[in-house]
């Protein structure tokens, strides 16, 4: 198997020799002691995925060097070697996004190899998701053209609609099914890039559909809201996974600005497909506060699309309980209370009430399966687990597909009490 390429810059020959001995078995190395020579080489070879540099050097410091590397290839993974005296400037470089990780001198050989290998796997995964997005966009654009052609032909022959052959009707049905398949591919791609094994976007879509049904929406509107829930995180495909792996509440202001832009990016990507333009509009307005305080448009109340108002509530609740919002997972009781507190300011109060009713009654859907994020205190006999319940050591205590009985609930609550923590349960 071909070794990953790694460019290393350090003005001390002894350090370069030491790094060469440690890393040459695992990586294709390109060693430099002069920053300008390294930059010139990288301009000619911009696809090298890994760059490691010393922080303190005579021509330019490591952070400045990596800033120039970013201009050539912003997707590469960047690392610093730093001494204790350089730690403050290194932290600044981390916060500005110039580096992926730093190693303190003297470095640990095993940690160095492991971190570089993990970064390369992350780099490959990001390239894979970007490729999938590109393929999906092309295919959906192709489907859009086909669909538009079919509609044009239908409009020309309104008087002959009753004479459409079974073969043509079946062909159109297959087209619609294919379009739905590509929607699912999009949604799976988002899960893959976000490294989200909980399938957050599928759950958000299913819950949003339930609220739309409770709100007596017509079938088309309900379907559009469902698709918006599946695809609302499309813009995250443009963000690095290192940013997405951090809880939202722990992001710096600069990171929050970069992160929050994913809604607009989702809109721009999906709006290219005519059939998804209304879905794109829903996604664009998800961040809009119900009280009209969101710049620049300051939409308020019913001016905000219904789907946007619904998904804003559902996604916030799921992020809280699932641990994507803060470092500690929020208990379901507390998450419901927080959603209720934000009614009238951030969220539509009537929709909040609809959703709290759904979370209390946990109905199924005629359109598809609906998972619920629960704590053990929420469990009831007859529920079925949709994922394993695991302990702190990631060992399963109850497996997916188990039908919950009272003795399961009693035992789980007993374990929670003894360990002083609560389990996250996926069930329907």
**Are residues 214 and 267 both part of a single domain?**
yes
Alpha carbon 264 to its chain centroid, in Å, reads 14
371 in Cβ contact with 358 (< 8 Å): no
**182 and 227: one domain?**
yes
Tokens 């209390």 — which residue? 360
Q: Would 120 be classed as within a structural domain? A: no
Range of the domain at 153: 125-157+164-374
Q: Are 42 and 172 part of one and the same domain?
A: no
For the ranges 30-34, 126-130, 234-238, 339-343, the one whose mean pLDDT is highest? 30-34
Q: Are residues 319 and 427 in the same domain?
A: no
pLDDT-derived band at 164 (thresholds 50, 70, 90) equals very low
Tokens of 180: 């739905």
pLDDT at 172: 47
Could you tell me the end-to-end alpha-carbon distance of the chain, in angstroms, rounded to an integer? 44
368 occurs within a structural domain: yes
pLDDT by residue (tens digit) across 269-301?
888 887 788 899 999 999 999 998 887 788 888
Backbone φ and ψ for 42, nearest 5 degrees, come out as -70, -30
Mean pLDDT of the chain: 83
Q: pLDDT per residue over 39-96, tens digit each?
A: 999 999 999 999 999 988 888 888 889 989 999 998 899 998 887 656 667 666 665 5
The reply to whether 299 falls in a domain is yes
Identify whether residues 314 and 361 lie together within a single domain. yes
Asked if residue 193 and residue 216 are part of one domain, the reply reads yes
Residues 152 and 133 in one domain: yes
Same domain, 355 and 402: no
Tokens of 167: 């073969």
Domain contains 197: yes
**Least confident interval from 133-137, 224-228, 331-335, 353-357:** 133-137
Give the alpha-carbon dihedral of 353, 354, 356, 359, to 10 degrees: 180
Q: What's the rounded mean pLDDT across residues 4-14? A: 94
Most distant CA pair in the chain, distance: 84
CATH assignment at residue 256 = 1.10.3210.10
What pLDDT does residue 403 have? 93
> Domain for residue 231, yes or no?
yes
7 pLDDT above the threshold of 80? yes
Q: Verify that 39 and 138 share a domain, yes or no.
A: no
pLDDT at 274: 78
Residue 171 near residue 150 (C-beta atoms within 8 A): no
- 364-370: long-range pairs with CB below 8 Å, 24+: 364/428, 365/206, 365/209, 365/210, 365/213, 367/209, 367/226, 368/206, 368/209, 369/206, 369/428, 370/203, 370/206, 370/207, 370/210, 370/428
Per the rule left: phi > 0, alpha: psi between -120 and 50, beta: everything else, 38 is: alpha
- Model confidence pLDDT, tens digit, residues 108-151: 999 999 999 989 988 888 888 766 766 665 555 555 555 554 55
Q: What is the pLDDT of residues 64-74, one digit of tens each?
A: 899 899 999 98
User: Does residue 114 belong to any structural domain of this protein?
Assistant: no
Q: Which stretches of 323-404 are DSSP H helices?
A: 332-341, 349-361
Q: Is the dihedral of CA 180, 186, 191, 197 positive or negative?
A: positive
Q: Please report how the helices 62-72 and 35-44 are oriented relative to each other, as an axis angle in degrees rounded to 10.
A: 10
413 or 144, which is more confident? 413
Q: How many domains does the chain have?
A: 3
The domain boundary, picked from 328, 344, 374, lies at: 374
Per-residue pLDDT tens over the stretch 350-375: 999 989 999 998 888 777 788 898 88
Residue of 265 and 19 predicted with greater confidence: 19
- Quote the percentage of the chain above a pLDDT of 90: 35
Whether residue 379 is found in the same domain as residue 427: yes
Is the confidence at residue 206, as pLDDT, over 60?
Answer: yes
Q: Is residue 113 part of a domain?
A: no
Q: Residue 332: inside a domain, yes or no?
A: yes
pLDDT at 338: 92
CATH number, domain at 418? 3.90.105
Q: Could you tell me if 50 and 129 lie in one domain?
A: no
CA distance 126 to 241: 8
Q: What is the pLDDT of residue 161?
A: 46
Q: What global pTM score does this model have? A: 0.62
CB atoms within 10 A of CB 33: 17
- Residue 211 and residue 176 share a domain: yes
The domain that contains 47 carries what CATH number? Answer: 3.40.50.2300
| Of 78, 14, 73, residue with least CA distance to 42 | 73
Query: Distance between CA 109 and CA 102 in Å, rounded?
Result: 13
Length of the chain: 428
Strands 101-104 and 5-9: unpaired
pLDDT value for 139: 57
């Amino acid at each position: 198997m071909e070794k990953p390429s790694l460019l290393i810059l350090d003005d001390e020959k002894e350090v370069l020799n030491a790094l060469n001995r440690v890393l040459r078995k695992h990586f294709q190395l390109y060693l430099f002691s002069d920053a300008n020579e390294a930059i010139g080489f990288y301009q000619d070879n911009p696809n090298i995925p890994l760059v490691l540099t010393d922080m303190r050097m005579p021509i330019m410091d490591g952070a400045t060097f990596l800033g120039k590397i970013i201009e050539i290839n912003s997707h590469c993974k960047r690392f610093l070697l730093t001494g204790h005296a350089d730690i403050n400037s290194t932290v600044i470089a981390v916060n500005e996004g110039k580096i992926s990780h730093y190693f303190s001198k003297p470095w640990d050989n095993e940690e160095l190899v492991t971190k570089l290998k993990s970064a390369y796997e992350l780099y490959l995964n990001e390239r894979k998701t970007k490729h999938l997005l590109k393929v999906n966009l092309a295919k959906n654009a192709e489907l859009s053209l086909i669909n538009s052609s079919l509609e044009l032909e239908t409009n020309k022959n309104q008087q002959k609609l009753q004479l459409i052959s079974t073969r043509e009707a079946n062909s159109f049905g297959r087209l619609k099914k294919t379009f739905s398949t590509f929607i699912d591919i999009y949604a799976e791609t988002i899960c893959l890039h976000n490294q989200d094994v909980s399938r957050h976007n599928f759950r958000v879509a299913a819950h949003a559909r339930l609220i739309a049904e409770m709100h007596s929406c017509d079938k088309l509107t309900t379907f559009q809201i469902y698709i918006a829930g599946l695809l609302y995180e499309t813009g995250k495909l443009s963000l690095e996974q290192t940013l997405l792996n951090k809880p939202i509440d722990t992001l710096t202001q600069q990171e929050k600005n970069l992160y929050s832009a994913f809604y607009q990016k989702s809109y721009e990507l999906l709006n290219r497909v005519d059939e998804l333009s209304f879905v794109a509009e829903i996604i664009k307005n998800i961040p809009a506060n119900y009280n009209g305080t969101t710049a620049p448009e300051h939409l308020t109340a019913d001016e905000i699309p219904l789907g946007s108002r619904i998904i804003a509530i559902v996604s916030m609740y799921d992020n809280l309980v699932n641990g994507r919002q803060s470092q500690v997972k929020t208990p379901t009781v507390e998450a419901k209370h927080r959603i209720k507190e934000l009614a009238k300011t951030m969220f539509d109060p009537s929709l909040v009430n609809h959703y709290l009713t759904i979370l209390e009654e946990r109905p199924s859907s005629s359109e598809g399966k609906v998972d619920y994020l629960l704590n053990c205190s929420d469990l009831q006999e007859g529920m079925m687990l949709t994922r394993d319940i695991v302990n702190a050591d990631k060992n399963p205590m109850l497996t997916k597909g188990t039908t919950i009985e009272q003795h399961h609930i009693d035992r789980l609550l007993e374990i929670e009490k003894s360990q002083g923590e609560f389990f996250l349960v996926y069930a329907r």
